[in-house]
């Protein structure tokens, strides 16, 4: 547990206590862990694998708010504010999760200020990311949004050739940038023709810095 950033400041006694109340479970790819609006009963920490956090509208269209991976956590919001789940969480691949019940999560929070502070920092990080997303939805066209997303997923400055490790379908990219699949396909095709990217087996390689404005 010590290697999970959220728990890294706990002392040995606290870690032993925590171990007693966590359950580890493995879920296959594409499992819905919970839906938006569900009542909440647990807090989750990702041991391995990745999950999509997202929301659906009435027509079943999906917006992916974030992709979370090893060491990250979810499900804290509904436990802390007592509201229903703010988003759905679905596994993107096989995932191993540590699960803590609502009761034990609350005990942990009341006994440890460091954890509370870390959760607050995590919330601020997510708010900053959400602000960026609002900015790109309000001010950028689909080319710019796709360019920014790919640069972010590649994890670098975008200056050097990088391959994005995650396999991405056009639909998934569309769900992340708030555009139609058709539009995203058109943008990716154009980026390929102009030599910015190449795609092999759903893995995208960025060859040169993608402009956010066209
Ligand atoms: P909760 O509302 O309990 O259930 C959905 C979870 O998704 C939520 O807690 C957060 O842990 C997580 N979540 C919600 N919105 C975002 C976001 N914009 N970025 C990352 N994670 C989020």
Q: For 62-75, how does the pLDDT look when each residue is reduced to its tens digit (9 = 90+)?
A: 999 999 999 999 99
The reply to whether ligand 1 has any atom less than 6 angstroms from the CB of 87 is: yes
Task: Concatenate the DSSP letters of all residues of 63-98 into one string.
Answer: EEEEEE-TT-EE-HHHHHH-PPPSSEEEESS-EEEE
Report the relative pairing of strands 162-163 and 62-68 from DSSP bridges: unpaired
At residue 123, the pLDDT reads 95
At residue 4, the pLDDT reads 93
At residue 1, the pLDDT reads 84
ipTM confidence: 0.99
At residue 34, the pLDDT reads 97
- Which residue spans within the chain are E strands per DSSP? 22-27, 32-34, 42-48, 51-56, 62-68, 73-74, 88-91, 95-101, 162-163, 197-200, 203-206
The reply to whether ligand 1 has any atom less than 6 angstroms from the CB of 78 is: yes
Which stretches of the chain drop beneath a pLDDT of 70? 158, 214
Which ligand 1 atom is the nearest neighbour of the CA of 74? 11
Distance CA 16, CA 155 (A): 35
Query: Is pTM beyond 0.95 here?
Result: no
Which residue, judged by its Cα, is nearest atom 11 of ligand 1? 74
The reply to whether ligand 1 has any atom less than 6 angstroms from the CB of 151 is: no
Render pLDDT for 102-118 as a digit per residue (tens, 0 to 9). 999 999 999 888 899 99
Q: Using the mean position of ligand 1's atoms as its centre, give its distance from the Cα of residue 66 in Å.
A: 8
């Amino acid at each position: 547990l010590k290697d999970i950033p959220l728990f890294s400041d706990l002392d040995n006694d606290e870690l032993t206590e925590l171990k007693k109340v966590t359950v580890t479970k493995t879920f296959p790819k594409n499992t819905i862990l919970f839906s938006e609006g569900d009542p909440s009963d647990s807090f989750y920490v990702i041991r391995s694998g990745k999950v999509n956090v997202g929301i659906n509208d009435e027509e079943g269209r999906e917006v992916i708010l974030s992709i979370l991976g090893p060491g990250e956590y979810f499900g804290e919001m509904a436990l802390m504010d007592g509201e229903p789940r703010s988003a759905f969480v679905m596994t993107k691949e096989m995932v191993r999760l540590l699960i803590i019940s609502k009761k034990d999560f609350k005990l942990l929070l009341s006994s440890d200020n460091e954890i509370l502070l870390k959760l607050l920092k995590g919330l601020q990080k997510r708010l900053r990311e959400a602000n960026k997303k609002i900015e790109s939805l309000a001010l950028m066209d689909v080319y710019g949004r796709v360019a920014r997303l790919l640069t972010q997923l590649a994890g670098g400055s975008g200056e050097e050739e990088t391959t994005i490790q995650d396999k991405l379908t056009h639909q998934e990219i569309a769900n992340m940038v708030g555009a139609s699949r058709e539009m995203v396909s058109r943008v990716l095709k154009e980026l390929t023709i102009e030599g910015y990217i190449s795609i092999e087996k759903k893995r995208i390689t960025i060859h040169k810095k993608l402009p956010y404005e066209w």
